[in-house]
Structure 1
Amino acid sequence: MTKNVDDAGVLDRLLPEIRPLENSRSRTPSVTGAVFNVSTSVIGAGIMSIPATLKVLGVFPALILILIIAFLSDVSVDFLLRHTLAGKSKTYAGVMGEAFGRGGSLLLQLSIMLTTLGTLVMYLIIIGDVLSGTNTDGTLHPGILQQWFGIHWWNSRQCSILGTIILVVLPLVMLRRVESLRFTSAVSVLLAVVFVIISSVMAIIAIFEGKTETPKLVPDFAHQASFLELFTAVPVIVTAFTFHFNVHPIASELSKTSDMTFAVKFSLILCAAIYSTVGVFGYLLFGESTTADILVNFNQNFGSEAGLLLNDTVRLSYVFHLMLVFPLLNFSLRCNIDELLFPKRPPLASHPARFMWITISLLGLIYVAAILIPSIWYSFQFIGSTSAVCIAFIFPGAIALRDVHGISTRRDKIMASLMIFLAGLASIIAISSNITNAVS
């Protein structure tokens, strides 16, 4: 069967023909490996704002919302994987192409690029918050550099982010092969684990010492500007669970459908548990002073030198984690942009000039956005109510309703319709509330 250059990869089969191979056990991707690869790709900057959603919604509504979005994510991934297996495509964009043609595939690619770009901006915002501090609701939270060396021009937000890009990020993003980043990826996973463990231990110690604040179990409508303002927390959690373009290629490499299902479900349970744990412990630790980026809160003095050391360790471990994850997301974004702008040109890695100017232009755009956007909360809301909600729920639901392979059941179509309706409604309300707040 012939295919055009623009359709390359869209009509490829998901899995190769199964043939008996020597040492096949060592070549077959393991379920355990898929679970941890998926989980690692999910847990990123989203975890930083989960405690703030508990502050806005209250503990019980926020935890319930995490479970609901995790359940809808499971349904969404199930739609995606089943329609992948039924067709000839091995990528999310390919499945969209089969259902809605070239336009559908292009729309998905644009959504993924926007989500990835926004995520990279959030990474730099968090790095700036930790290194140079931030001012939240009139409260100054100094950064690590300011605490160590005092306030100077060279450790301002603009300079610290620029220095991070030049000294750490730029050398890594200039690597042309993603395989070259395997060691930095391993270190980034370890640093993320360090953050979760230390922050959880600090919260548990604070509970036993009676230093935690009484949590708000339900929304406080007396101090809420409007009921619709509660919906601004929904896009934050949606963005945290937007991992379908990571789940899809990893889980689909498994040879059994049951293994794919198990890998996805277990990953969702694991991520929901981690988000809930960090959210509850973070909110207990800082109460109503919890900021949109909880790393900012770890500048408080807990009464001992050990407490100060733990604070700095927590912040630095996650900042270095983000620095090392940044090149991976940048690699994906850069390749998508190159494929969109230069579909018939040679591979990007073989064209130094094109590689250089796309890389530098992207870093410049991300740097400017990180300086102009004051908080990751706004970035989460924008991405979560636009491109992320499309990737996570609207597109998979539309694929199930389109049903070009005739495999969707009546229950599938009902769930798909409900998922699209809820996602669209929450997105519209969140966008309307943000516009209203901005105008007022």
Structure 2
Amino acid sequence: MTGTEASASDLSPLLSDADSLEDQSPRGLASVSGAVFNICTTMIGAGIMSIPAAVKVLGIIPGFAVMFMIAVLVEVAVEFLLRYTQHGKSTTYAGMMAESFGLSGSLAVQISVMITNLGCLIIYLIIIGDVLCGSQSGGTLHLGVLQEWFGIQWWNSRAYVLLFVVLFVMLPLVSLPHMNSLRHSSAISILLAVVFIAISSAMAIYAFCKGKTQTIRLLPDFANQVSVFDLFTAVPVLVTGFCFTVNVHPIRSELSRPSDMRYAVRVSLAICIAIYFSIGFFGYMLFGDSILADILVNFDQNSDTAIGRLVNDTVRLSYAMHLALVFPVINFSLRATIDELLFAKKHVLAEDSSRFAVLTCILLAVSYIIAIVLPNIWYFFQFLGSTTVVCLTFIFPGAIVLRDVHGISTRKDKMMALLVIMLAILTSIIAIATNLWPVG
């Protein structure tokens, strides 16, 4: 670690394992295109599954407008982080919060990252369970791939299948002690995500040419299905899709010119807007009002031909496999953060096999149990998007600007930071209240 990083280590244990890996690797070798690739990979995760459902609630035009607005606010927040990183001593997110708010600030970031990452692990297992074992929504049974192939059996129920996946797929991957060991599985996961997006869009275009697409709304259906408050429950789902602030500092540190990070962020946000809107539009076009919180479940009923069923199964399995391979990456940073919080004075986690095994098994067990008990991902996306993701993406960066320990914020910066914080808090409060006390 460098001198400045060492001085902040006591205040910013978050992602220290990742920092150590960066210190062991050559710096300044990453290109702008590589940074764009890494940022996009961070954003394009499980959140893409619920974007069509959010577009159904918002309508096509407001859906695109909200995506664009969120992307602009994310860019503003990242600009704040990059500017204060340049003027401060710390090179981690938690370290920046420690510079502004002390240990409580660092702890707030750590807790938010732990909740967000654990939530993602649970979401990944839920989606994999939906794909393989099916789900039930509104009294309609949506069969999983295994049930379609072998019929409904005791052994292909969600509890047994996820247990098998956790023990024989997840456990070997999460047992790898170093992030670098996951580089090949991560590359495959990105390819699988691209396959899912390409096939889904092609299916929608083909259905449109055949006149089989569903009726879509350009605006929210306030007359029948949607209230004004329902719109706020869809916004956190979109916010979750644009969350990548935790990886800003590791990606920036590898660029030959850190100033290029701003350009990389803009390009990445533009790419993700295009991808998210494409999935939202084409997914909504395919399934209309029958779209579910997890669009993968809808693919069990979109074709009555052998080729169509094969394409549907390919779409679902490709993304389920993608999530299975992303799972250990998310688990790695979560496990390292928890270890640094609970065992700050112990030896490096990778060198303590007992502690490593216990933490790994506990995280897998907790993720599995919650994924079985609460199988609806819409509520998870709303919760994460309304709480910890909002904090990491908007509230914490805005708070750093308002605190302004380096004296570099202008009046315009502080007004923008205040606006971002107020919008984030207002949207979150309404979304949470609407879920707890449904209107109508």
TM-score (norm 1): 0.94
Name the structure 1 match of 2:252.
251
The reply to whether residue 7 of structure 1 matches residue 11 of structure 2 is yes
The reply to whether residue 91 of structure 1 matches residue 95 of structure 2 is no
The reply to whether residue 68 of structure 1 matches residue 84 of structure 2 is no
Q: 1:386 to 1:4 in 2, by over 3 A?
A: closer
Cα distance in structure 2, aligned partners of 1:393 and 1:255:
27
Name the structure 1 match of 2:328.
327
Cα distance in structure 1, aligned partners of 2:224 and 2:244:
34
CA deviation vs aligned residue, 1:273-295 (integer Å, no higher than 9, x gap): 10001100000000000000000
Cα distance in structure 1, aligned partners of 2:248 and 2:9:
26
Name the structure 1 match of 2:101.
100
Letter in 1 for 2:414: K
CA deviation vs aligned residue, 1:238-297 (integer Å, no higher than 9, x gap): 111111012332034324354111101001111111000110000000000000000001
Cα distance in structure 2, aligned partners of 1:162 and 1:151:
17
Deviation at 1:366, TM superposition (A): 0.6
Name the structure 1 match of 2:286.
285
The reply to whether residue 138 of structure 1 matches residue 135 of structure 2 is no
Q: 1:223 to 1:8 in 2, by over 3 A?
A: closer
Q: 1:82 to 1:5 in 2, by over 3 A?
A: closer
The secondary structure found in structure 1 opposite 2:223 is helix
Q: 1:98 to 1:4 in 2, by over 3 A?
A: closer
Name the structure 1 match of 2:175.
174
Name the structure 2 match of 1:214.
215
Deviation at 1:63, TM superposition (A): 0.9
Q: 1:399 to 1:299 in 2, by over 3 A?
A: same
- Whether the 8 Å CA contact 1:251–1:263 is kept in 2: the answer is no
How much identity, in percent, do the aligned residues show? 58
The reply to whether residue 39 of structure 1 matches residue 31 of structure 2 is no
The secondary structure found in structure 2 opposite 1:340 is helix
Deviation at 1:27, TM superposition (A): 5.1
Name the structure 1 match of 2:150.
149
Identify unmatched segments of 5+ residues in structure 2: 20-25
Deviation at 1:437, TM superposition (A): 2.9
The reply to whether residue 359 of structure 1 matches residue 360 of structure 2 is yes
Name the structure 2 match of 1:110.
111
- Whether the 8 Å CA contact 1:9–1:89 is kept in 2: the answer is no
Deviation at 1:230, TM superposition (A): 1.8
Deviation at 1:308, TM superposition (A): 0.9
- Whether the 8 Å CA contact 1:251–1:264 is kept in 2: the answer is no
CA deviation vs aligned residue, 1:11-52 (integer Å, no higher than 9, x gap): x9xx9xxxxxxxx9x952111101101111110000000000
Cα distance in structure 1, aligned partners of 2:58 and 2:142:
24
Q: What CA RMSD, in Å, does the superposition of the two structures yield over aligned residues?
A: 1.9
Name the structure 2 match of 1:337.
338
Letter in 2 for 1:436: W
Deviation at 1:225, TM superposition (A): 6.1
The reply to whether residue 190 of structure 1 matches residue 191 of structure 2 is yes
Name the structure 2 match of 1:264.
265
- Whether the 8 Å CA contact 2:85–2:96 is kept in 1: the answer is yes
Deviation at 1:340, TM superposition (A): 0.4
Cα distance in structure 1, aligned partners of 2:409 and 2:12:
27
CA deviation vs aligned residue, 1:84-135 (integer Å, no higher than 9, x gap): 0111111111111111111101101100110000011000000000000001
Deviation at 1:226, TM superposition (A): 3.6
- Whether the 8 Å CA contact 1:239–1:388 is kept in 2: the answer is yes
The secondary structure found in structure 2 opposite 1:102 is helix
Cα distance in structure 2, aligned partners of 1:208 and 1:321:
29
Name the structure 1 match of 2:23.
none
Cα distance in structure 2, aligned partners of 1:241 and 1:53:
14
Letter in 2 for 1:298: F
The secondary structure found in structure 2 opposite 1:330 is helix
The secondary structure found in structure 2 opposite 1:135 is strand
